[in-house]
Structure 1
Amino acid sequence: MNAKTKAKPISRAALSGEADPRLVALSVSIQDDGALYEEDIRGSQAHVSMLAAQGIVPKAAARRIVAALDQVCDEFAAGKIAFDPSLEDVHTHVERRLGELVGKDAGYLHAGRSRNDQVALDERLFIVRGCDRCDGALVRLMQALLAQAKAHEKTLLPGYTHLQRAQPVSLAHHLLAYVEMLGRDRERFAEVRRRAAVSPLGSGALAGTTLPLDRERTARALGLAGVTQNSLDAVSDRDSAIELSFACALASVHLSRLGEEVVLWTTREFGFMTLDDAFATGSSLMPQKKNSDVAELSRGRAARAIGDLVSLLAMVKNLPLAYNRDLQEDKRPLLDGPRALVLTLDALAGAVETATFHAEVMRAALGDGEALATDAAEYLVEKGVPFREAHEAVGKAAAFSTRAGRPLARLTAAEWASFHPRFGADVLRRFDPAESLRRRELPGAPGPKQVKAQLARWSKALRGGR
């Protein structure tokens, strides 16, 4: 940008004098919305091309504007556009630089358009691109989890409730639980993208324009599915921004849950897994430490994502129609969400795909029968005993086991029979974790056939992943 150019915000065209510096300092948004330069320029190129096709501006001028905007985009990408606070926002920066390149022809660009519908378009284009980026990163983490699940199809470990050892599952089944969560996240981002992919251009400041615009042509040029149907709503609607923020927040919560398990599993107390050194950090004081910072940062990022969502919801909760300047403050949480989520997803994907899982430690954590107490109760149910009665009988066996200092799997057939007459000697065969899983083949259960089917299903679903 020409440093000698006297900058005066276009929004003061009907006002006298210059804005007070304190108002300028409060109003300036280029430090945030400057990140939308690519979307802003794409929208302007589609808009001016449509204006030319409609005979509203000369075609030669439109061609010069489109070509010059390509240069402006390159200059933004190269960091050659100096941000000037007096120019307020990205739209003004683009238009001022365009004027330096094509002169008065730049004045054609704003016909039939307000900064209100312009910024609404910029955000929708960003949301569409953000959803695509998040989807690609989700796929990468899902593929990393799936690869480890395939490698550990037969690795057994305790499943937990209340962070207490509960029942045996396979590591594959456990990892696939996160694949399911991330799969739902992909569906949410697809829905956000679908609703965001409509063009608000042509809504003007709030009431459209008298110029004969072809809104559908502009939308098609931008790869959008259609146009908004109410100009008041179009310029003030931030639903898609909030939905994107929600999708990022919930995905971040899923990553936080995964991160928490990585933190636990990499401790010596658990010892279930070891992170590759490339995805761990040391201590500034204690040379023996190996910290799972990638997982801890995943938990911390979730708090940030939740804060972004709450910020956007609070911002719009009491705004009258149509546009209000409050909405300028939506840029930081909107832009932050996809960027932070993609960084977190990719870091976790690297950590998962390079991690070492310790199958022998996991198998040892199953203990000697405690995780199979429910199997013993279901043994009685199969023999016609009401479940509550069966539950009570196995509870007595567990209490006896604790007093005797012998695990459930080491109790004798006679001892089992003393807790309930329906216990036969074959109850001892129920204390084999692998056999327990083979008996759990209901849809969604951790039985080997079910797990194999889920591995195949997700392999097929992710085969065309980004």
Structure 2
Amino acid sequence: MRLWGGRFEGGPADALTRLSVSVQFDWRLAPYDLMASRAHARVLHRAGLLTDDELSRMLDALEDLDRDCRSGAFRPTVADEDVHTALERGLLERLGSLGGKLRAGRSRNDQIATDLRLYLRDHVRHIVSRLVELETALLNQAEQHADTPAPGMTHLQHAQPVSFGHQLLAHVHAFTRDIDRLRDWDRRAAISPLGAGALAGSSLPLDPQAVARELGFDSAAANSMDAVADRDFAAEFLFCAAMIGVHLSRLGEEIVLWASQEFRWIEMDDAYSTGSSIMPQKKNPDVAELARGKSGRLIGSLTALLTVLKGLPLTYNRDLQEDKEPVFDAVDTLLLVLPAVAGLISTMRVNTARLAASAPDGFALATDLAELLVRKGVPFREAHEAVGHLVVWCQVNDKTLEELTDEELAKVSPHFTSEAREVLNVPGALAARSAHGGTAPDRVREQIIALREIVDAQAEWASGA
């Protein structure tokens, strides 16, 4: 059943066969290969290379083969080199020699490039749907906690109070960018390689543009050599996947911290936590840790494919067999991780009292005090230094900024008056940051409204509407 054995007197060595076989992983492309085969059959018919009766029989056989593949009645065997070999065997079993006519005008080179694009364009929409679920979970939590104060951090040190909803929305913005990248990727991936043949096109009167339209592509490839050699679409997808992985990892890291005894900002639902085999009291953030860990796989897949591609001459080289496993693994990883993280976020309980109590810790209102002096005409350089001295005085005397008396404030700097205490409260600090993009609860609610519109549009795109 080999598709290439005509000029060979003997069969391949067992070692070559084992090295070459790819059907164990590229079999998942069968539905897309059959979809492309139906389109190719119609093009052969329009070119006068299949009669009406032959086309009808060909399409019926392809539909029957598709049903049997989906049900498991037809499966590849150890003798099938790849998905194309297995499906041609299935077609020949149903049609006899007529099945061999379908190979005219195409090569495995343009077939596999087409199949992989079809697979990815389909599965990217599944990934976007799962991202939308995660975005929605974050938005729902943010809506509940627009007014919840929390410690905002830089360098993992208390910096300024923020709305906890604002912090959750920061992750939503990252995931909306991920979806924007995938949608932009889809525009570049919507080019059909089918019709490029092995590398030079075909002398048969075929119509690559018609095939492209039938398969949902925007157009056929403009250069047949580039069509079969290009794997930019696979590498770019893997970059998008790696970036999603990085964003999931950053969110996962924050959840691990928030759930710790040191933070105690959140309580994870039992359904999205695990325990210890030795310590009965433990509740572990495994979902968040696995999201953090899986990012390594996604980054590794991108690195692997870029390394394969970097030295390849035009056009097709067998190295490109290595393009599929990283892509499949990235798709599987994202579709596995995203629902679990969305479930964790949607079910977690936020310890609002703990957040509010710790929001001013670490002299987090110092910047508000410095900005009060700026509003009174003090240069920020001087204001910054005066508040820094005040913080040192508080540390020496074991006091918080909020506990200082008028006399103690004035002792440190004449700039400090009784007005200082007016800004030394967390709700006021949040409300004061009301500029565009700020953490003021009103701005947070505006963000939520705007983001819901974006997420709704993303969900609509994912559904194909």
Residue in 2 aligned with 1:324?
A: 317
- Tell me which residue corresponds to 1:90: 83
TM-score of the aligned structures, taking structure 1 as reference length = 0.96
1:113 aligns with 2:106: yes
In 1: Cα distance, 2:297 partner to 2:66 partner = 31
Q: CA deviation at 1:390?
A: 0.9
Deviations 1:275-331 (A, max 9, x none): 111111111222221111100100111000000000010000000000000000111
1:127–1:240 Cα contact (<8 Å) kept = no
Please name the residue that 1:45 is paired with.
38
Give the Cα separation in 1 of the matches to 2:6 and 2:392.
84
- The answer for the alignment partner of 1:5 in structure 2 is none
Q: How many pairs align?
A: 459
**Whole-angstrom CA distance in 2 between matches of 1:208 and 1:298:** 44
| 1:169 aligned counterpart, secondary structure | strand
1:55-66 correspondence runs (5 A): 55-66=48-59
Question: Deviations for 1:344-380, whole angstroms, at most 9, x for unmatched residues?
Answer: 1111111111110110011111245711001111111
- 8 Å CA contact 1:368, 1:408 repeated in 2: no
Look up the match of 2:450: 457
**Distance in 1, Cα, partners of 2:232 & 2:456:** 32
1:390 aligns with 2:383: yes
Aligned to 2:159: 166
Q: Could you tell me which residue of structure 1 aligns to residue 236 of structure 2?
A: 243
Query: Residue 347 of structure 1: which of 333, 337, 340 is its match?
Result: 340
Residue type at the aligned position of 1:290: K
Alpha carbons 1:46, 1:221 under 8 Å: kept:
yes
Q: Which sits farther off after the overlay, 114-123 or 405-414?
A: 405-414
Instruction: Give me the whole-angstrom Cα distance separating, in 1, the residues matched to 2:52 and 2:264.
Output: 69
1:360-417 deviation line (CA, Å, top 9, x unaligned) = 0111112457110011111111111121211111111101101101111111122222
Residue 273 of structure 2 is matched in structure 1 by 280
Q: Is the 8 A contact 2:160 2:360 kept in 1?
A: no
Query: What residue is the counterpart of 2:214 in the other structure?
Result: 221
* Aligned counterparts of 1:142 and 1:418: Cα–Cα separation in 2: 50
**How far, CA to CA, are the matches of 2:413 and 2:88 in structure 1?**
85
* From 401, 408, 416, the counterpart of 2:401: 408
Amino acid paired to 2:341: L
Instruction: Report deviation, 1:60.
Output: 1.8
Matched residue type, 1:42 = M
Look up the SS of the partner of 1:10 in the other structure.
coil
**Counterpart-to-counterpart distance in 1, 2:343 and 2:67:** 32
Residue equivalent to 1:14: 7
Report the TM-score when normalising by structure 2: 0.97
**CA–CA separation in structure 2 for the residues paired with 1:260 and 1:428:** 35
SS across alignment from 1:67: helix
Tell me the CA shift for residue 76 of structure 1: 2.0
SS in 2 for 1:301: helix
Query: Is residue 2:21 matched to residue 1:28?
Result: yes
8 Å contact from structure 1 (residues 279, 350) kept in 2: yes
TM alignment of 1:67-146, pairs within 5 A? 67-146=60-139
| 2:366 corresponds to 1:373 | yes
Across the aligned residues of Structure 1 and Structure 2, the Cα RMSD in angstroms comes to: 1.2
What is the identity, as a one-letter code, of the residue corresponding to 1:454?
Answer: Q
- The letter of the residue matching 2:15 is R
Percentage of pairs with the same residue: 45
Structure 1 residues 106 and 368, CA, compared in 2 at 3 Å: closer, same or farther? closer
Structure 1 position 26, deviation (Å): 0.3
1:18 deviation in Å?
Answer: 0.9
How far residue 86 of structure 1 moved from its aligned partner, in angstroms, is 2.6
Q: Deviations over 1:81-120 (max 9, x none)?
A: 3332332000010010111011111111111001000000
For 1:285 and 1:204, the matched residues in 2 are separated by 61
How much does 1:420 deviate? Answer: 2.3
Distance 1:236 1:412 in 2: 74
